[in-house]
Amino acid sequence: MASEWKGAVLFLCNEDYVFFIKRSQQMPTHSGQIAFVGGHKKETEVDPWIVAQREFEEETGLNSHMVSFLGYLPVVMTARLQPIVPVMGKLLISTEEFMREVKSNGEWEDCMAYPWTELSIEENWEFAWRNGYAKFPVLFHPMRRGSFIPKSQDFQTHLLWGATAYMVWDFLRLYYGHGDS
């Protein structure tokens, strides 16, 4: 893990789903994007798991004892060149209870339970090239209407992309062999 990480996200999942948020349109960065709960570390925080737990409690109103630590994924650089540590966490309560009890602190406008079965279909993933500081691929995964469980009544199609998509792809590649030739 990089020693110069700036923050952490909680890659929250259970056997059936990965849990994403849709960031609020009022947020100054990444507004409206599909993401994981997370944020920047505080000066006193030296472990990404501590950051992920704090952010989970702040952003969901739930106790972090509802999540067990599974491990770390490779550091991902955001579009703003911030190194973020994805922390894998397993939800210890039922999907139904989580979706009923989770509450936004204003940073997100919806929470979604998205099935692993949809994420694991390689044909559902696309990429395009982005030219910036360097040329690199940008991953896309459409979250099709009706394929996920939203907290709200928002059943529209969403686009998983950017750093969050890379985190998911890294997990699939590392643990299921996707993208290996």
Structure tokens at 176: 């299921």
The radius of gyration computed from the CA coordinates of the chain, to the nearest angstrom, equals 15
- Position 139 scores a pLDDT of 82
Report yes or no: 6 and 40 within 8 Å, Cβ to Cβ.
yes
Question: Any idea what DSSP says for residue 123?
Answer: G
Q: For 135-162, what is the mean pLDDT?
A: 85
Domains and CATH numbers, the chain: 7-176 (3.90.79.10)
At residue 175, the pLDDT reads: 76
pTM: 0.89
User: What are residue 128's DSSP bridge partners?
Assistant: 138
How high is the pLDDT of residue 47? 97
- Place 127 in a pLDDT band, splitting at 50, 70 and 90: confident
**Per-residue pLDDT at 98 exceeds 80:** yes
Model confidence band, residue 157 (pLDDT cutoffs 50, 70, 90): confident
What contacts 149, CB < 8 A, 6 or more positions away?
17, 95, 99, 112, 113, 114
Q: Does the pLDDT of residue 181 top 70, yes or no? A: no
Residue 159 structure tokens: 């686009």
For the chain, the maximum distance between any two Cα atoms, rounded to a whole number of angstroms, is: 44
pLDDT by residue (tens digit) across 19-43? 999 988 676 566 578 999 999 999 9
Place of tokens 């500081």: 133
Q: What is the mean pLDDT of the chain?
A: 88
* CB within 8 Å of 64: residues ≥ 6 apart: 53, 54, 56, 57
Query: Which of 36-40, 135-139, 158-162 has the lowest average pLDDT?
Result: 135-139
Which single residue is written with the structure tokens 């040329």? Answer: 135
Asked whether 80 and 98 are in contact (CB, 8 A), the reply is: no
